[in-house]
Amino acid sequence: MGPKRNPTRRVPIGAVSIGGGEPIVIQSMTATRTTDIDATVAQVRALAAAGAGIVRIAADSRADAEALAEIRRQVDANLSVDLQEHYRLAEWIAPHVDKIRYNPGHLYHHERTKDWRDKVRYLVDVAGSHQCAMRVGVNCGSIEPERKSRFDPTDSLGPMLAGAWDHCEFLDSLGFTRYCVSLKDSDPAKVVELNRRFAERRADVPIHLGVTEAGLPPDAIVKTRRALEPLLGQGIGDTVRVSLTVPNPRKHEEIDAARAILADVAAGRTGWDPSAVGHRLNVISCPSCSRVENEAFVELAERVRDMTRYATPHAITIAVMGCRVNGPGETDDADLGLWCGPHAVNLKRGSLTLGSFPYDAILDRLRAELDRLIESRTVGSLGAEPGSK
């Protein structure tokens, strides 16, 4: 039977529904370029065949929107679209998909003088006209600056929750209730806290669960289990995504992992060892998706993981992001961050950009920065010598 679920409202998404007591739906996302219609159609079909009830595709241009029209003609899967920063693409995309995902933190990028409510009102009009559901996708690395400024800099959860609640209340005021919400972070403990607090206040809203930038398997699966198992065990969550940094032929592993998590929760099992979790090196990376501008990103993430194993005892976070959409903001909280462009990789120390380096040179520079960071923390922990300045 599994745990009793939260009494969320039912939201139809194409041929499936989430919430309202419906079975939990597994999702995944294509990693092919959306404009590569043949490759994207093949991957949508493969993900659906593997068990994805909803398949998400990113759209960042009119060319992507035009490709979606043809993709829709060739597939029967339930399609969701990720609008990225270009919210006005919705009117070109909505006729061809079943759900629109928008990020509140990305709405301010275009028409910055326009109030976010006017932009959401436009999205509601478009979604309503085409019978589309919507997801309010709140992400830790892309909170709008104005909202973030109203909270203590050490409070990373407050701005996310406030944004989610504000958007829900506004959607409700417009009479649009065909939506769900996601609150994602790369820290499993924060994912648990965010979604628990959201569900306490809005038990009616279906929740999409996931850990953003979970990274490479098997560690990424453990991180996701640490977040999803306690939430699902409390009846929180109506649809799930396991985000893995894997090559295209291995995208089905996201669905395999999600199925295993759901099976263990239903059986009352825990699929990870709590005693094995401690403060140590944390390499995070975003899932491969169509926004990635160089397919070398996945290989680079694997090489970073392997090269940095010597730093495992140290509580250091290294982030490897695959594109310019999420990369700059979502590496800010890491000790060292890499975000990948078409021909070079940008290296950051916290929010400070150190430079852009060729793919074949970035590992050496990353190692040098990692060694400096370890040395500075080691010296700092020993304290200054007596009489030193």
- 232 & 292 share domain: no
Q: Clarify whether residues 26 and 95 are in a common domain.
A: yes
pLDDT of residue 385: 45
- CB of 252 closer than 8 Å to CB of 52: no
Closest by CA position to 30, among listed 39, 19, 17: 39
Q: Among residues 276, 300, 316, which one ends one of the domains?
A: 276
Residue 6 domain-assigned?
Answer: no
- Which pLDDT does position 380 carry in this prediction? 64
Q: What is the pLDDT of residue 389?
A: 35
Number of domains present in the structure of the chain:
2
User: Which of 30, 25, 1, 28 minimizes the C-alpha distance to 12?
Assistant: 25
Q: Is residue 387 part of a domain?
A: no
In 268-326, which ranges are continuous DSSP H helix? 296-307
One domain, residues 183 and 286: no
Q: pTM for this structure?
A: 0.91
368 in any annotated domain: yes
CA 312/CA 92 separation, integer angstroms: 47
CATH number at residue 91: 3.20.20.20
- Same domain for 245 and 356, yes or no, is no
CA distances from 206 to 8, 69, 265 (A): 5, 28, 18
Q: What is the block-wise mean pLDDT of the chain (389 residues), using blocks of 10 residues?
A: 85 98 96 95 97 95 95 98 89 97 89 93 98 96 88 94 97 98 96 98 98 92 96 97 93 96 94 73 84 82 95 93 74 89 91 92 96 88 47
- Report if residue 3 sits inside a domain: no
**Same-domain status, 270 and 296:** no
Task: Tell me if 354 is assigned to some domain.
Answer: yes
**Best CA proximity match to 227, nearest among 187, 285, 257:** 187
**Is the residue at 5 inside a domain?**
no
Same-domain pairing of 186 and 109 = yes
The last residue of a domain, from among 276, 299, 332: 276
* pLDDT at res. 2: 64
Residue after which a domain boundary falls, among 243, 276, 309: 276
Q: Are residues 286 and 178 in the same domain?
A: no
* Same domain (yes/no): 107, 181: yes
135 DSSP β-pair partners: 101, 180
4 in a structural domain: no
CATH of the domain at 306: 3.30.413.10
Cα dihedral value 245, 249, 254, 260, nearest 10: -130
Neighbouring CB atoms inside 10 A of 3's CB total: 15
Same domain, 314 and 222: no
255 and 378 in a single domain? The answer is no
Q: Are residues 88 and 48 in the same domain?
A: yes
Largest CA distance in the chain: 75
Residue 135 included in any domain:
yes
Spatial separation of the C-alpha atoms in residues 182 and 178, rounded to whole Å: 14
Which residues have a Cβ under 8 Å from the Cβ of 297 and sit 6 or more positions away? 288, 320, 322, 340
* Distance between CA atoms of residues 305 and 247, nearest Å: 15
Residues 223, 345, single domain; the answer is no
Q: Distance between CA 347 and CA 354 in Å, rounded?
A: 6
Q: Label residues 80-113 b or e (16+ Cβ within 10 Å = b).
A: bbbbbbbbebbebbbebbbbbbbbbbbbbeeeee
* Domain enclosing residue 261, as ranges: 11-276
